[in-house]
Amino acid sequence: MSESSGDSSRYQIQGDQRPRLFHLPPTQVASAGLAAVDLARLAGLELDPWQQWVLQHALGEKDEWYYNSVLGKQMRKSSAYEIALIVARQNGKGTVMEALELAWLFLLGAKVICHSAHEFATSKEHFQRIESLISGTPELKGELARGGIKWSHGDESITLANGQRLIFKTRTKGAARGFSIDKLVMDEAMILKNEQVAAMQFATSARPDVQIMYAGSAGDRDSEHFGRARDRGIAGSDQRLFFAEWSADLCDEMCYRDCTEHTDRPDNPRTWARANPGLGYRLQIDNIQSEFNGMDSDVFNTERLSVGDWPVLGEAWRVISQAAWMNRYDEMSRIQGAPVFSIDTTPDLRYSCIAAAGSNGEGSCHVEVTGQNGVMDHRPGTKWVVPRAVELSKRHRGSVFVIDKGTQAGAYIDELTNAGVKVLTPTTREFAQGCGDFYSGIVPRGGGPDPDIVHIDQPELKSAVAGADKRELADLWAWDKRNSSVDISPLVAVTNAVWGYRKQVNKPKPKPLAAWGG
């Protein structure tokens, strides 16, 4: 139940008409957006404020000119070479694409426009909507060529009397080979493959005023091309990109219970408004409430709040290089004495890991994922964790376990303590310091101490280090479970184990009791 349920004011909430994340091309000096809005209205499309805002910047113009052979005149070039639009389903994203394509076709003299989708049914539906808009508007219908509406299966198109074309394609490796494209729309961009982009984008290379639009909802780990556009938009590094994302800023698995960095909550209608500009215009709040009540939370967060599981660019060995990691490989290393153990569990509870750290007797700190009889303690689920941890504690007298109580693994603390297992719990700052310390223990740093962590090149740990990313925490940083490309629970576990080992080694020794002189 939403915290605002029962409050009549919740029905007055409308979606935010400006995106939470956006980047505007700095070269824009004018725009055809207002003319495009008027054209859309003529065709029967009444655009919401957010849709008008998108058109204003998608059709922005810079102070650079080219000759438009269709219109026979000099025109300003588009300020945005790429347009990346991320917004949840049913908010009116399709209407934006329709208005944009109408403007390109009837206002801006684009010779060839290509609308592509992942599936034929999606492409056909968009074609039918555009055809209906044009055929239902006498001023636009009058510009069609004779037989200008082509309904051939998989080869639908709209052709004007002056030769302009709007074609519709299902994405394949050869979808756009053999002709040139001025304007390209890639719908369902979250499932866009690199080879599909290559097949279509290179068809634009020879055109004087190219624009490419990527439109979709939240992406996943496979959304590589869409994810790259999003990363450039967030970084603000591409002057030819217009990027807009309506999404919620929810806490993730690296946040602690007292997090003040993120203020959005998935059960709050104001969060729904932030991620859904169509709320109150096209979406009904009661329907979103029903979605929230009935959906798995991850599905709701992705589909309605646009919280994606985006890929990380250059994700292999992003933080610690492969060379640095392998330089710390020592196949003969073993822990001498009582180890320090640590447990970490993934946010979705699918995997858990137990790792250990300790002195190898040669001046280095040895780290590894524990295991026995060929079964590594990096396994699915959670039920095995406490029994295995109790077993390790009994076998290694004097050992301790490190568990971050702000994570899913914190649920084991009470049960382990009741079983006589000694548990250390780092603070948020101590965990972040531990991440930096682990990094310094692997990667040589000028002016710093020599690396002193060694490992035995276990695949589970190697994969976690290779796929790990980091996130900023004030003046420190920590491993980023959300944006890392793989399950990094082995890395988090060994990081906490090293923190516990350092703490045990450096803790003050008790002062001897004074002899009683009585």
Amino acid at residue number 253: E
Over residues 175-197, the mean pLDDT reads 81
Domains within the chain, CATH numbers bracketed: 8-303 (3.40.50.300), 322-506 (3.30.420.240)
Q: What are phi and psi of 502, to 5 degrees?
A: -60, -40
Look up residue 410 and give its DSSP letter. Answer: G
pLDDT digits (tens, 9 = 90+) for 198-237: 767 777 777 899 999 999 999 987 888 999 899 899 889 8
pLDDT bin (cut points 50, 70, 90) of residue 483 is confident
User: How many CB atoms within 10 Å of residue 69?
Assistant: 10
d(CA 114, CA 176): 9
Quick check: 516 pLDDT over 50? no
Cβ pair 416, 401 in contact under 8 A: yes
pLDDT higher than threshold 50 for residue 40: yes
Model confidence pLDDT, tens digit, residues 361-417: 999 999 999 999 888 999 999 999 999 999 999 999 999 999 999 999 999 999 999
CA 282 – CA 287 distance, rounded (Å): 11
Helix H or strand E encompassing 357: strand 351-359
Structure tokens at 38: 């008027």
Question: 275, 307, 292: which is closest to 14 by C-alpha?
Answer: 275
pLDDT (0 to 100) of residue 378? 96
Can you name the residues that pair with 371 across neighbouring β-strands? 376
Say whether pLDDT at 448 is over 90.
no
Q: What is the distance of C-alpha 232 from the center of its chain?
A: 12
Q: Please tell me whether residue 387 adopts helix, strand or coil conformation.
A: helix
Residue 514 pLDDT level (bands cut at 50, 70, 90): very low
pLDDT digits (tens, 9 = 90+) for 289-306: 999 999 999 899 999 999
The reported pLDDT for the residue numbered 484 is 75
- Per-residue confidence band for 152, with pLDDT thresholds at 50, 70 and 90: confident
C-beta separation of 33 from 55 below 8 A:
yes
φ/ψ (deg, to 5) at 486: -140, 175
User: Is pLDDT above 90 for 427?
Assistant: yes
pLDDT at 277: 97
Read off the pLDDT of residues 319-341 as tens digits, 9 standing for 90 and up.
898 999 999 999 999 999 999 99
pTM above 0.75, yes or no: no
CA angle (22 as vertex; 20, 26 as ends), nearest 5: 150
Look at residue 310 in the predicted model and tell me its pLDDT.
Answer: 82
Contact status, residue 476 vs residue 429, Cβ threshold 8 Å = yes
Cβ atoms within 10 Å, residue 343: 31
Stretch 50-64: mean pLDDT: 98
Sequence-separated (6 or more) residues with CB below 8 Å from residue 287: none
- How far, CA to CA in Å, does 28 sit from each of 57, 84, 99, 106, 443? 8, 16, 20, 22, 44
Mean pLDDT of the chain: 89
